């Protein structure tokens, strides 16, 4: 593709003699550069791509895009205001705006994105549609499964995946990091969903208002006749719905208020059944996953499928056959009659819903096992501890991902956090697999063991058992016991 075609929306001027320069590929990492590639230098959080311009040139780059003033280079340099945003625009142009050929569904919010995306994919595919899915667990394109490094891939990776997809529909989890870093630049959505907002990523966004404004920016990508689906049973959802209504955007609200487009009027927790009123008609939906939070996730997926044009009864019948999501309230029945649950919950609100769901579904005693990640938002830790201190019967603080924090430093912080809660409920067991083993060995009939924080993710640290995830650890202990 010619250079002038790639940068035609960047509002930059280039010399006429390089306008027809042929660009054979794009790279944001210098090691990926091949002959006649464009290298886009991005200032990251740990490394600065501008420091690798010389390497990119040695590897064959024919043009460089960056946002810093650079001295003499032997090849053209195009300075832009924001390299991340420029890469999104350039990648979209290079792959010929692939999202315009798809029905695009974007889901944002703190909790529930993954569960909604998988339920919705199941509904749509059960009713004859093909779906790609981009999310935190994996990317699925044309029926093939690929590893996912980020909830929302970089703009260059994302545009390539969209270009490769032959599926009719794309369902995408859109993270706040993805939005703030312009990873969805150039993409417009037919449906945008907002689940909720909870204390999370404030080491990155600093305030809840900034976090909210970032999530809100997804709806700037909504097509003119697109649909916004908003859970208004939280203060941030209510605020979002009001703001979108002021912009004359089609908003479909979900909540218990009579003003809701889809009003939740009754729950049956024993059977995970919810009664929803839509257009003065009562609709009974059975959630395939237990817990109030999953009831909301199911209804969000139902609303989207309904707006898509699938018949009500077909949606309801499809939902009944959904088999759940790996690491999302994943239930494992133990040989002694106890129940283990593995869940990704890592905010106070998500932990609250997991704990209360366990109680509502018959847990006599709930043991909560969890930890905290090094180099991540420490301001949310006491909120999670406050919730588990109130709603669990006992909890075990253990090691999650250390990242760059030393093991001794993390253990020290766990003991300090536990000392603030003098209710004798909490203990510290640094080895995560040993903590799970202790909880299982000390459980009885109808006890529940809730293991949160990692969900589908594999361990980054070595523990005493030869296992790589919480689910694998539970199953390993079970097989040893039987």
Could you read off the pLDDT of 8-64 as tens digits, one per residue? Answer: 888 888 888 999 999 999 999 999 999 999 999 999 878 999 999 999 999 999 999
Sheet holding 273-278, edge to edge: 144-147, 138-141, 131-134, 169-173, 103-108, 189-194, 222-231, 250-255, 262-268, 273-278, 281-286
The pLDDT of residue 204 is 57
Distance of CA 88 to the CA centre of its chain: 20
Residues of the chain with CATH 3.40.1190.10: 98-320
| Mean pLDDT to the nearest integer, 248-265 | 93
* Residue 421 vs residue 203, higher pLDDT: 421
CB 199 within 8 A of CB 236: no
The pLDDT of residue 482 is 60
Residues of the chain with CATH 3.90.190.20: 330-481
| Mean pLDDT to the nearest integer, 196-207 | 66
CB 97 within 8 A of CB 289: no
| Mean pLDDT to the nearest integer, 412-424 | 81
**What architecture is the 3-94 domain classified under in CATH?**
3-Layer(aba) Sandwich (3.40)
Could you read off the pLDDT of 423-477 as tens digits, one per residue? Answer: 678 999 999 999 999 999 999 999 999 999 999 999 999 999 999 999 999 999 9
| Mean pLDDT to the nearest integer, 403-422 | 87
Q: Sorting pLDDT into bands at 50, 70 and 90, what band is 331?
A: very high
**What architecture is the 98-320 domain classified under in CATH?**
3-Layer(aba) Sandwich (3.40)
Residues of the chain with CATH 3.40.1390.10: 3-94
| Mean pLDDT to the nearest integer, 194-222 | 81
| Mean pLDDT to the nearest integer, 379-391 | 89
Question: Is 159's pLDDT higher than 90?
Answer: yes
* Nearest-angstrom CA–CA distance, 86 and 281: 48
The pLDDT of residue 342 is 97
* Residue 24 vs residue 380, higher pLDDT: 24
Question: Is 350's pLDDT higher than 80?
Answer: yes
The pLDDT of residue 202 is 54
The pLDDT of residue 71 is 87
Domain 330-481's class? alpha beta
Q: Sorting pLDDT into bands at 50, 70 and 90, what band is 375?
A: confident
Could you read off the pLDDT of 271-295 as tens digits, one per residue? Answer: 788 999 998 899 999 988 888 889 9
How many residues does the structure list for the chain?
482
* Nearest-angstrom CA–CA distance, 243 and 258: 19
């Amino acid at each position: 593709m010619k250079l002038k075609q790639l940068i035609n929306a960047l509002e930059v001027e280039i010399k006429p003699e390089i306008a027809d320069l042929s660009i054979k590929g794009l790279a944001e990492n210098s090691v990926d550069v091949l002959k006649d590639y464009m290298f886009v230098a991005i200032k990251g959080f740990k490394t600065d791509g501008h420091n690798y311009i010389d390497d990119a040139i040695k590897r064959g780059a024919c043009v460089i895009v960056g946002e810093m003033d650079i001295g003499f280079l032997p090849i053209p340099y195009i300075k832009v205001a924001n390299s991340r945003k420029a890469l999104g625009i350039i990648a979209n142009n290079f792959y010929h705006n692939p999202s315009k050929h798809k029905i695009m569904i974007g889901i944002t919010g703190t909790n529930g994105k993954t569960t909604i995306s998988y339920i919705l994919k199941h509904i749509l595919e059960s009713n004859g549609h093909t779906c790609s899915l981009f999310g935190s667990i994996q990317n699925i394109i044309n029926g093939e499964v690929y590893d996912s490094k980020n909830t929302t891939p970089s703009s260059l990776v994302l545009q390539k995946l969209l270009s490769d997809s032959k599926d009719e529909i794309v369902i995408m989890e859109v993270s706040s990091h993805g939005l703030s870093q312009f990873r969805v630049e150039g993409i417009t959505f037919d449906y945008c969903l907002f689940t909720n907002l909870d204390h999370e990523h404030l080491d990155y966004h600093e305030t809840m208002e900034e976090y909210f404004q970032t999530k809100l920016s997804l709806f700037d990508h909504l097509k003119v006749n697109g649909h916004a689906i908003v859970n208004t049973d939280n203060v941030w959802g209510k605020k979002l719905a009001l703001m979108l209504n002021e912009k004359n955007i089609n908003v479909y609200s979900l909540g218990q208020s009579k003003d809701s487009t889809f009003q939740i009027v009754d729950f049956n927790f024993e059977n995970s059944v919810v009664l929803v009123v839509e257009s003065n008609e009562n609709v009974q939906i059975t959630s395939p996953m237990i817990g109030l939070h999953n009831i909301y996730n199911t209804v969000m997926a139902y609303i989207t499928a309904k707006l898509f044009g699938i018949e009500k009864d077909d949606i309801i019948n499809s939902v009944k056959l959904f088999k759940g999501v790996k690491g999302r309230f994943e239930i494992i029945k133990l040989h002694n009659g106890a129940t283990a649950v593995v869940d990704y919950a890592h905010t106070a609100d998500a932990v609250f819903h997991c704990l209360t769901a366990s109680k509502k579904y018959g847990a006599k005693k709930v043991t909560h096992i969890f930890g905290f990640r090094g180099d991540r938002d420490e301001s949310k830790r006491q909120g999670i501890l406050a919730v588990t201190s109130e709603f669990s019967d006992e909890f075990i603080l253990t090691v999650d991902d250390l990242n760059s924090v030393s093991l001794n430093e993390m253990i020290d912080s766990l003991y300090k956090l536990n000392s603030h809660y003098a209710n004798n409920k909490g203990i510290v067991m640094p080895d995560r697999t040993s903590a799970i083993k202790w909880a299982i060995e000390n459980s009885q009939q109808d006890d529940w063991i809730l293991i949160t924080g990692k969900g589908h993710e594999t361990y980054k640290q070595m523990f005493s058992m030869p296992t790589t995830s919480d689910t694998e650890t539970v199953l390993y202990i079970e097989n040893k016991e039987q």
